[in-house]
């Protein structure tokens, strides 16, 4: 996140002095990949929580129709 803040500050400075705006392709690529990784991790986190919930359930009292 620090790199993104620095990029934003640089873009503002470049705009202020009417300089060509830097594109930062590696940073932009990293941000896009992190969005994908966040989606994957959210799925993993939901699965981990479901496994934890299932491990607590008393299987003899489980209502199959709720699944």
Q: Is the pTM of this model over 0.75?
A: no
The pLDDT score that the predictor gives to residue 56 is 84
Q: Is the pLDDT of residue 66 over 90?
A: no
Q: What angle do CA 42, 48, 52 make, to 5 degrees?
A: 145
pLDDT tens profile 15-49? 999 999 999 999 999 999 999 999 999 999 999 99
19, 30, 5, 42: CA torsion to nearest 10:
150
């Amino acid at each position: 996140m620090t790199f993104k803040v620095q990029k934003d500050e640089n873009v503002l400075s470049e705009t202020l002095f009417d300089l060509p705006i830097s594109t930062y392709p590696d940073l932009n690529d990293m941000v896009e990949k992190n969005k994908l990784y966040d989606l994957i991790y959210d799925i993993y986190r939901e699965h981990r929580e479901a496994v934890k919930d299932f491990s607590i359930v008393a299987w003899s009292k489980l209502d199959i129709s709720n699944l």
